[in-house]
Amino acid sequence: MKTKNTYFILAVVLLVLLACQSVSPATPTAVPTATSLPPTNTSVPTNTALPTETPKPTNTPLPAGVIFRDDFSGELQSGWEWQNENPDKWTLTDDGWLQIIGEHDSLLGENNQNNLLWYTLPAGDFIITAHLKTKPFENFHQATIYIYEDPENYVAINRGYCDVCSTGGGGFYMEYKISGQWGSYTATTKTEDVYLKLESANNTISGYYATEPDNWVRLGRFGNYFQFKKVGIGVTNVRASNDVVGLFDYFEITQP
């Protein structure tokens, strides 16, 4: 009885062991990896505008009929040419005037003068005008515009001072020499803010002055025998003991 029971128990144990060996060992479950968050929407970069080139300033076209004009603002216009420049005696003021302090020699006396400013004339008829302020008070202070060729051929009109002349002091003076033949015209004035004009048209040169804009008065006229090549401006003391100052607001060359 005991032997049968013992065999029975052993058989059961054997069956249990065989059943345990037939079960496959559990494989480890893979730990899920962290899922990356979906990328946020990145805004599409906009096209960056290329830097625009800074426009270079251009010269403002002159009105019809104007050949040349300088308002003396900031710097002299191209085309001017200095004769006997003395930088210590001229300047451009902050409010747009060309200031010239007169010195002793005179173009129409010694054929030499400092700080003469010349511009080449085009062929044909022309008008030159200037607005200036000056206060001449000694013989022979003058602020002048010129048409000039050489010592024997020139035309000049100025606001000056001459107490031995018919003006008895301050006045407008137009002087000319053509082929060595000299002449002059005068008019009395005490005005310090004036306009001067020289016109060459129809073989005639005329000189004008004004104490108000465009209110021209003819000072003199004579026949023009040849074509002048340059015009200019200047200020001189003509050996007076004190300096005279000329302030030019603008200078213009136009066609008649």
User: Is pLDDT above 60 for 65?
Assistant: yes
Question: Is 28 inside a domain boundary?
Answer: no
Q: Rounded mean pLDDT of 103-120?
A: 94
Mean pLDDT, the chain, integer: 85
pLDDT at 50: 54
- Name the pLDDT band for 32 (thresholds 50, 70, 90): very low
* pLDDT tens digits, 185-197: 999 999 999 999 9
Question: Is 174 inside a domain boundary?
Answer: yes
**Structural domain that includes position 231:** 66-254
CATH code for the domain in which residue 70 is found = 2.60.120.200
Question: Is 25 inside a domain boundary?
Answer: no
Question: Is 26 inside a domain boundary?
Answer: no
* pLDDT tens digits, 69-79: 999 999 999 99
The answer to whether 209 touches 187, Cβ cutoff 8 Å, is yes
Question: Is 34 inside a domain boundary?
Answer: no
Question: Is 19 inside a domain boundary?
Answer: no
Question: Is 233 inside a domain boundary?
Answer: yes
Q: Rounded mean pLDDT of 12-23?
A: 49
Question: Is 97 inside a domain boundary?
Answer: yes
pLDDT at 64: 82
Percent of the chain scored above 90 by pLDDT?
68
Count of domains for the chain: 1
